[in-house]
Amino acid sequence: AFVTLLHGNEPSGLIALFKWLKSGLKPAVNVVCIVASVSAASLEPSFSHRVFARQRDLNRCFKEPFDDEPGYLAAEILETLKRYKPESLIDMHNTSGSGPSFAVAIYEDPQHDALTELFTKRLIVTHLRLGALMEVTEYLCPTVTIECGGRLDESAHQIAWEGLNRYFRLESVLAGQESQESLEVLTNPVRLELKDDCRLRYGEKLSEESDLCLLPS
């Protein structure tokens, strides 16, 4: 299975899927493809809104209660995956800013490593539980979230296309392919949350007008 556009401003997965559909290529096995936040992505300007106005983040809605519009959609996505019982699931995203590609999973084993290496050489294993898709589909099949890179980066669109092409054309995606590069695994990253009154700025150094400064690089 392949899920993309859970966030309406993260287009690389949709761009790659559209390119695949136009290519005339045939996947090695049956593939279930789910394009999620169409309404949010369609808001003008296109692919600029993460969620539809005043709604919850869809990728925080995959645990009950499913009692609002994003919850209904999350429940429908889960029911679709249960019905088709895929052997694996890739959930494709972009990061908000420019950056390297990486994968995220809640487990690290040879199956998750093999899925990761179809797209990138970095895997983050997280213990955080936020209500994301990958947290609740693991009981169905090995699930990996792929962050292709910045949503406006052509390199991210290329990573998405190349990885999707490998994912669709291999008969066995859970068997690792021989690689010259080892997978970099980072475990349990720290999540930083700012208080509402925190003054944040970008720049070379902290100023009196800010509490926290993010360096340009």
Tokens matching residue 176:
């690792």
Query: What's at 68, amino acid-wise?
Result: D
Please give the C-alpha separations between residue 25 and each of 19, 74, 105, in angstroms, as whole numbers. 10, 29, 29
pTM of the entire structure?
A: 0.88
Strands (E), the chain: 2-4, 33-35, 89-95, 102-105, 122-125, 143-150, 184-187, 200-202, 212-214
CA pair distance 5, 99, nearest whole angstrom: 19
Strands (E), 36-105: 89-95, 102-105
**CATH number of domain containing 108:** 3.40.630.10
CA pair distance 108, 176, nearest whole angstrom: 13
Tokens matching residue 137:
């589909």
The model's pLDDT over 2-15, given as tens digits with 9 standing for 90+, comes to: 999 999 999 999 99
CA pair distance 201, 203, nearest whole angstrom: 7
Tokens matching residue 92:
């494709």
C-alpha triplet 23, 29, 34: angle, nearest 5°? 70
Rg (Cα) of the chain, in Å, rounded? 18
- End-to-end Cα, the chain, rounded Å: 35
CA pair distance 156, 161, nearest whole angstrom: 9
| 209 DSSP 8-state letter | T
Of 76-85, 96-105, 125-134, 175-184, the range with the highest mean pLDDT is 76-85
The model's pLDDT over 41-60, given as tens digits with 9 standing for 90+, comes to: 999 999 999 998 889 999 99
Nearest to 160 by CA among 206, 81, 94: 94
The model's pLDDT over 181-208, given as tens digits with 9 standing for 90+, comes to: 789 999 987 778 888 889 988 888 788 8
Give the count of domains, the chain: 1
Q: Going by DSSP bridges, is the β-strand pair 102-105/33-35 parallel, antiparallel, or unpaired?
A: unpaired
The model's pLDDT over 76-92, given as tens digits with 9 standing for 90+, comes to: 999 999 999 999 999 99
Residue 35: helix, strand or coil by DSSP?
strand
Give the domain range for residue 100. 2-214
Inter-residue contact 49 to 39 (CB < 8 Å): no
